[in-house]
């Protein structure tokens, strides 16, 4: 015997908006199954009625969010309520708000149906019939319930039916908390949108909110060494920012009250380590977000140095010792020791030391120590085996170069050897000291998704294809994030290894606004920060860039410095638009080692074939996925870190005939 709790909140029609006056709890005893397991499958509805409800939900999914047909409904999954069970299903709290009709009395029955769309074709339909409590004088009915969703869940539509009057209404389910239909007389429903007495639209679902920490980002100036006069720009993700205050090493140095908010400052003649902080302020003077940037970070105290020595007692092994110092105002999280890619030990307190048997070391092996700070940043020191005598520390920078080799049809090849490649730094050929197919190296993937108004009709296919791509490419050791953009970019989901949580965010994306494409690429690139392993940014857009503070050149410079190859899926020609964005996208791809996929989707009559668009999107994502799983990694050492121009001068050539190669930007370790 289990007890299931429903909460009904009845709000008087003459009360202030959403002020809770009466709370009635109805306890039902004897329900089978654990509390909040799922909405029950009601045996009464016929397949014909259920099909009609699904058709109604499908129409709502393709139409404006929150559009009601008869009844006025709002719904949302409550932020932070998600719990994953042992079978991978997600339990989440659902809030539904219905505006009550005049004359409705106690006991009037409403059927609540949740249509949850998944990666699979068949949606999950959960429904329940509920009798209203005494609603005399009330305006709103709030229904609260926990539901179980599949791990592959994408988005949902909530349908409410009045079983007496034969009316129904529905809304796409937002994420956060529902903004209820206004219960006061001055509001009205016009074209499916609730408006107040001034004609201002009142949304009845919450779209994913931007995390406060991401309201603005500082965009670092180009290069790694900064002195003299420099300009630091900001990138905004919200219109809430009214002004920005800048701090240099803890001291206020500027206040900019006009967008774009920038800091121009003279750092002096010699490069020194500095901390720049930008504080975003609202119109009322309240802090609503901040970001931090370290300049000349190589001069900070964060350092890790490895020294090799024989193991004590004369054993046949090497002792690896790591000396670590950390910057001000930060803390060390852990130190990891590696033999090539194999993790030997993880330690969180000094002394930091590990041993490795000499017999296990081959001529191509290398030893590596990585120090991680609690903010996620890291620093490596690498030692090539046999390079120097034990006890001698050598300054070495291991430059990693990723490359994709393909045949004449463009299909990636995975059977090449080190002897098939030639790597040059400028005009000088360098020795490849490490070579492997990068299948097992962790991938950090960013998906940048265009949600501007012109994407409206393409959203269902685009979201489905993007979600399938993430589900196919992200493995347990990988991480990914999702950025959506229209007039401004937003972090729809931060970097995570939780694929289910990431997929669920797709269901909340909506089309509106302009196309700040380059701002979105810059914002997406900044999300990588110090993410280890391989990186890739996949951008889907259908529009010519309009608005925004940044251009294609800034995108290229930042992507190269962050070692992020940019892949683009171009939908701009499908709806008759001019593909003016194609040339900058191609330049961005060539400079970073990515690729542009142009989607065609018109039939012979010039009409959009949405099924063809869906198939083309799936094909483009599949091609990108194959490339990301078919990259070769080649590494060579340099006595000092490479400059941005030197990194650009790295060239890769394949000596086997009939094979094309595309170099992905390199990264520097050490």
Tens of pLDDT, residue by residue over 617-658, are: 888 888 888 888 888 888 888 777 677 678 778 889 999 888
Task: Decide if pLDDT at 590 tops 50.
Answer: yes
The answer to whether the CB of 542 falls within 8 A of the CB of 572 is yes
pLDDT above 70 as % of the chain: 74
The answer to whether the CB of 311 falls within 8 A of the CB of 301 is no
Region 37-64: mean pLDDT is 59
What is the pLDDT at residue 71? 84
What is the pLDDT at residue 447? 95
Q: pLDDT digits over 447-501, tens only?
A: 999 998 888 888 888 888 888 888 888 888 888 999 999 889 988 888 888 887 7
Q: pLDDT digits over 182-195, tens only?
A: 443 333 333 333 34
With CA atoms as reference, report the closest residue to 366 among 379, 356, 376.
356
Extract the tokens encoding 308. Answer: 């090799």
Task: Decide if pLDDT at 9 tops 50.
Answer: no
With CA atoms as reference, report the closest residue to 159 among 170, 147, 167.
170
Task: Decide if pLDDT at 166 tops 70.
Answer: yes
User: What is the spatial distance between Cα 234 and Cα 375, in angstroms, rounded to a whole number?
Assistant: 21
Extract the tokens encoding 139. Answer: 């305006």
For the purposes of burial, counting CB atoms within 10 Å of the CB of 122, is it exposed (0-12), middle (13-18) or buried (19 or more)? Answer: exposed
DSSP 8-state symbol, 602: B
Beta-carbon contacts of residue 553 (< 8 Å; ≥ 6 apart): none
Confidence band, pLDDT 50/70/90 cuts, at residue 279 = very high
CA distances in angstroms from 94 to 2, 117, 498, 513, listed in the order given? 20, 15, 21, 28
User: What is the spatial distance between Cα 413 and Cα 626, in angstroms, rounded to a whole number?
Assistant: 10
User: What is the spatial distance between Cα 29 and Cα 6, in angstroms, rounded to a whole number?
Assistant: 11
Domains and CATH numbers, the chain: 2-202 (2.60.40.10), 212-298 (2.60.40.10), 301-394 (2.60.40.10), 395-439+631-670 (no CATH), 443-628 (3.40.50.410)
Beta-carbon contacts of residue 47 (< 8 Å; ≥ 6 apart): none
Report how many helices (DSSP H) and strands (DSSP E) the chain contains, helices first: 8, 41
Angle at 379 between CA 378 and CA 382, to 5 degrees: 140
The β-bridge partners of 255 are 245
Extract the tokens encoding 114. Answer: 């949740």
What is the pLDDT at residue 295? 85
């Amino acid at each position: 015997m289990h007890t299931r709790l429903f909460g009904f909140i009845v709000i008087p029609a003459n009360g202030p908006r959403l002020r809770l006056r009466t709370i009635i709890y109805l306890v039902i005893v004897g329900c089978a199954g654990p509390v909040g397991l799922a909405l029950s499958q009601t045996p009464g509805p016929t397949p014909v009625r259920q099909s009609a409800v699904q058709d109604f939900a499908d129409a709502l999914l393709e139409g404006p969010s929150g559009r009601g047909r008869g009844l006025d409904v709002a719904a949302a999954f409550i932020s932070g309520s998600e719990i994953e069970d042992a079978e991978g299903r997600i339990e989440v709290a659902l809030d539904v708000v219905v505006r009550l009709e005049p004359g409705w009395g106690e006991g009037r029955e409403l059927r609540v149906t949740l249509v949850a769309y998944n990666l699979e074709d068949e949606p999950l339909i959960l429904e329940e019939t509920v009798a209203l409590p005494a609603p005399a004088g009330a305006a709103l009915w709030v229904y609260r319930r926990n539901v179980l969703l599949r791990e592959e869940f994408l988005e949902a539509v909530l349908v409410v039916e009045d079983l007496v009057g034969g009316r129904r209404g529905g809304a796409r389910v937002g994420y956060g908390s529902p903004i209820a239909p206004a219960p006061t007389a001055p509001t009205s429903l016009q074209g499916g949108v609730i408006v107040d007495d001034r004609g201002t639209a009142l949304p009845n679902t919450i779209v994913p909110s931007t995390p406060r920490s991401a309201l603005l980002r500082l965009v670092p100036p180009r290069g790694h060494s900064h002195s003299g006069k420099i300009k630091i720009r900001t990138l905004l993700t919200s219109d809430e920012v009214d002004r920005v205050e800048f701090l240099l090493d803890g001291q206020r140095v500027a206040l900019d009250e006009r967008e774009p908010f920038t800091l121009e400052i003279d750092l002096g003649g010699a490069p020194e380590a500095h901390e720049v902080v930008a504080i975003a302020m609202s119109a009322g003077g309240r802090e609503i977000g901040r970001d931090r940037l370290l300049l000349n970070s190589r001069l900070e105290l964060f350092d890790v140095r490895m020294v090799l020595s024989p193991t004590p007692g004369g054993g046949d092994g090497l002792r690896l010792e790591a000396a670590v110092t950390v910057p001000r105002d930060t803390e060390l999280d852990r130190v990891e020791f590696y033999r090539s890619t194999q993790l030997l030990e993880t330690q969180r307190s000094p002394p930091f030391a590990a041993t490795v048997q000499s017999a296990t070391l081959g001529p191509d092996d290398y030893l590596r120590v990585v120090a991680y700070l609690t903010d996620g940043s890291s620093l490596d020191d690498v030692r090539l085996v046999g390079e120097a005598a034990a006890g001698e520390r050598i300054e070495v920078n291991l430059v990693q170069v990723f490359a994709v080799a393909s045949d004449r049809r463009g299909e990636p090849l995975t059977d090449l050897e080190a002897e098939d490649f030639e790597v040059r730094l400028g005009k000088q050929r360098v020795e490849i000291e490490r070579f492997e197919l990068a299948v097992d190296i962790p991938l950090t993937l960013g998906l940048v998704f265009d949600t501007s108004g012109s994407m409206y009709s393409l959203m269902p296919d685009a979201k489905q294809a993007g979600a399938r791509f993430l589900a196919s490419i992200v493995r347990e050791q990988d991480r990914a994030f999702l950025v959506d953009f229209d007039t401004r970019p937003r972090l729809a989901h931060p970097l995570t290894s939780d694929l289910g949580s990431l997929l669920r965010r797709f269901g909340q994306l909506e089309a509106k606004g302009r196309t700040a494409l380059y701002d979105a690429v810059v914002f997406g690139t900044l999300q990588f920060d110090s993410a280890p392993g391989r990186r890739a940014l996949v951008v889907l857009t259908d529009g010519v860039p309009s608005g925004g503070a940044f251009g294609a050149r800034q995108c290229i410079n930042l992507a190269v410095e962050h070692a992020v190859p940019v892949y683009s899926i171009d939908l701009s020609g499908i709806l008759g638009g001019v593909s003016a964005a194609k040339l900058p996208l191609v330049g961005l791809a060539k400079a970073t080692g990515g690729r542009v996929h142009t989607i065609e989707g018109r039939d012979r009559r010039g009409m959009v074939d949405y099924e063809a668009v869906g198939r083309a999107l799936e094909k483009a994502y599949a091609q990108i996925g194959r490339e990301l799983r078919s990259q070769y990694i080649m590494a060579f050492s340099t006595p000092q870190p490479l400059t941005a121009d030197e990194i650009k001068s790295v060239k890769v050539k394949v000596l086997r005939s009939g094979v094309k190669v595309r170099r992905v930007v390199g990264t520097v370790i050490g």
